[in-house]
Amino acid sequence: MHISIIIPAHNEERRIKETLLDYIKFFKSKKVNFEIYVILNGCVDNTLAVVKSIKFKELKYRDYKEPIGKGGALIEGFKLAKGDLIAYTDADDATKPWQLYHLIENIGTYDSIIGSRWMRGSVIQKQTFIRRFCSRGFNLLVRFFLNLQFYDTQCGAKVFKRKALYGVLESLKTKGWAFDVNILYYLKRRGYTIKEVPITWEDREGSNLKLRKAIPGMFIALLKLKFTKR
């Protein structure tokens, strides 16, 4: 089994080195065939140099000078991935590698498996009240508009079987923070199966998510999905 891990990165010079070293060390210890693709999205800091400084054959990258958004970076990463299983996670190490590996181990006969911060058994560390409030409010909108009955669509820990992911890849258009909803919506619409499991997750300092800007865009993205022709 070959595993591809996609990590989108926008101005992550302070956090991405720890994440990459953690993931490389962990997956090497498991003696599995894996690759990590960092997709740099409009970085204007030193992220590229940090990534280049980490010398492992399993680590690859693509640098997009113009901003293409989290969703755009993931789509480009999916196109490059060679794995039988294709996963993505955030650059901030909020999802530790052993948690992502837990998803991989438990995908079973499902087409995809997603981590949840809000199921019974989940552990959330250090999340601020405003982020918690926005997360739960957005989840209610997702359930109402799109009938996606998941506890958490936005957690940055998801794994897909290659056939399922490529079955919806051409339909993925959302480039911003609502990308997670976009991919789950089309997987469900095409009849692919999705398993949701509790996860341990830590809110990390230095997030690039600006709620005041992100929330209106995410709401508009929900409306576009709602009224997309089947």
Task: For domain 2-226, give the CATH superfamily.
Answer: Spore Coat Polysaccharide Biosynthesis Protein SpsA; Chain A (3.90.550.10)
Q: What is the pLDDT of residue 229?
A: 52
Q: What would the two tokens of residue 45 be?
A: 């800091």
- Cβ atoms of 15 and 96 within 8 Å: the answer is no
Residue 161, burial from CB neighbour count under 10 angstroms (0-12, 13-18, 19+): buried
Question: What would the pLDDT profile of 71-123 be if each residue is shown by its tens digit?
Answer: 999 999 999 999 999 999 999 999 999 999 999 999 999 999 999 998 888 88
More confident residue, 15 or 220: 15
How large is the C-alpha radius of gyration of the chain?
Answer: 16
Angle at 56 between CA 103 and CA 72, to 5 degrees: 55
- Cβ atoms of 64 and 40 within 8 Å: the answer is yes
* Three-class DSSP category at 43: coil
**Which distant-in-sequence residues (6+ apart) come within 8 Å of 91 by Cβ?**
7, 8, 9, 12, 15, 16, 19, 38
Q: What would the two tokens of residue 228 be?
A: 């997309």
pTM of the model: 0.87
Return the DSSP state at 158.
Answer: E
Question: What would the pLDDT profile of 6-60 be if each residue is shown by its tens digit?
Answer: 999 999 999 999 999 999 999 999 999 999 999 999 999 999 999 999 999 999 9
Residue 217 has pLDDT above 80, yes or no: no
Residue with tokens 């019974």: 120
Taken in order 194, 198, 199, 203, the sign of the CA dihedral is positive
Q: Domain boundaries in the chain?
A: 2-226
* Three-class DSSP category at 88: strand
- Cβ atoms of 50 and 17 within 8 Å: the answer is yes
Strand 59-64's sheet: what is its strand order? Answer: 59-64, 33-41, 2-9, 85-89, 157-161, 112-116, 194-198
